Chain A
């Protein structure tokens, strides 16, 4: 593996992601409205909200695959989509994006060769691939065709691809959907160890609110807007709720009430 303790040139308080007046339009629909937020470095930030609220679009904007993005969006001190970011960000889409007609190891070998090409790095690639497969607990299936795996296993292969090349920012779109509780716990432990050991930043989306408790920070989204940007503790405290789920519902009710008020005063 690469050394975790590489000295970072930017001060740690410089956020990994900084958005100002961020808007995204898809077709005629405005999917993201005027977002302002930051994602701190070296922490696990959860992006939570109901399905269809714009989580995936926001993630695609951050990794630079979303068209029609306006406003400011800086990722690792570069504008989102900058070519130099391509080796520094690991991205996992919601649907597993791997080749079904290759084995797990062949999938990872190929993506590793794209990230770290050349014959000189063959040995490093091999170690990286072996580690990534072990990280997602698929070593015993390494030579199975991806197409023959279960849904949860395939999404873990997809996750393993993102772990290659030790990225500074990991953007994971619902990585734990459809996984059993043991595996979910293991993956969350893995996420935290990646943040702690490598100093990497993780942005993880989910629509399951109990996963929110495992994050350092939370971005709560609803209908293309950010309802809250805080730590889970502060959120519960501020809304006087027992759980993050209750806090979220409280904030939604507040937002709806505020919306109605705006309607009537117009």
Chain B
């Protein structure tokens, strides 16, 4: 064994993480191209929310009011869950297949990679949410007081939040099995506490306190604001900003989990 004092290799300064538009778009196009070779996944992502809403409408056949409440919340929750699942598996694959290591050894900024994923899945989320919202509002008679466009906006932000959470969580999963198990771990508590089952003020104060710091609560609140008010309320703006800020925060955390150097 040598005992010479070893000097650490001078670590190169972090490259400018400024977004490169061409690399971001190339990444988004690549992710969409991968999905195109997997039509079954696309069909499942897009059809399942519609089928669930359809089911829900006739489960609450006798009480249209309940369908309005739960239906609007679900329009926000579906994109979050789907994008969470898809992103966590997709990035886990990227990590385990060695393509992530290869990309990070190339001149690709972490921000380019993440923005590329967000762009691709965002586009998919628009299609999914547009179909689900259209079906709910026009075919199933979901009674929204506000604009359906606002529903779509919240749905899109939720999709972004799902992508962010999925990306972040994939860093802690070493297999697809673990990644899938993170879904109940990360999503179910939020689902229980977001006000879908019972209004949040009716919960035990401790749980209400917890629900106040979970982003999905604000996603559902935002949906309910649109449901009940004709115009854009201050509460709606607050909800939307919180969801967007959470998504950005988690995306930043996710970016920190992409390491160029690994053990």
Contacts and interface: CB of A to CB of B under 8 A. Distances in A.
Instruction: Summarize A's interface: helix, strand, loop or mixed.
Output: mixed
Nearest to A80: B9
A37 interface: no
A87 B15 CA distance: 13
Contacts of A81: 9, 11-12, 260-261
B101 A99 contact: no
B107 A106 contact: no
Interface in B240-263: 259-263
Contact of B37 (A68, A110, A113, A145): A145
Given A67-B263, A86-B107, A113 B23 contact: yes
A106 B31 CA distance: 11
B99 interface: yes
B26 A113 contact: yes
Given A67-B263, A101-B34, A117 B9 contact: no
Nearest to A81: B12
A80 B261 CA distance: 11
A114 B106 contact: yes
Contacts of B37: 101-102, 145
A70 B263 contact: no
A33 B2 contact: yes
B34 A93 contact: no
Nearest to B98: A97
Contacts of B263: 26-27, 66-68
Interface residues of A, number: 48
Interface string A42-84: 0000000000000000000001111111111100001111110
Q: How large is the interface on B (under 10, 10 to 19, 20 to 34, 35 or more residues)?
A: 35 or more
10 contacts: A23-B2, A64-B12, A69-B261, A70-B6, A70-B9, A72-B9, A73-B9, A111-B102, A115-B107, A119-B22
B1 interface: yes
Nearest 3 CB-CB pairs, A to B? Answer: A97-B98, A117-B22, A113-B26
A135 to B, nearest CB: 18
Interface in A209-242: none
Given A97-B102, A99-B30, 20 more contacts: A23-B6, A33-B1, A63-B105, A65-B260, A65-B262, A67-B261, A69-B9, A70-B7, A70-B8, A83-B13, A99-B34, A101-B37, A110-B29, A110-B33, A114-B106, A117-B23, A117-B26, A118-B22, A119-B22, A161-B102
Interface string B47-89: 0000000000000000000000000000000000000000000
Contacts of B260: 64-65, 81
Contacts of B34: 99, 101-102
Interface in B2-52: 2, 4, 6-13, 15, 20, 22-23, 26-27, 29-30, 33-34, 37-38
B92 to A, nearest CB: 14
A98 interface: yes
A65 B259 CA distance: 9
A64 B102 contact: no
Contacts of A64: 12, 105, 260-261
Contact of A71 (B6, B33, B105): B6
Nearest to A95: B98
A13 B33 CA distance: 45
B137 interface: no
A81 B15 CA distance: 11
Among B34, B259, B263: residue with most chain A CB under 10 A: B263
Nearest to B104: A65
A100 interface: yes
B108 interface: yes
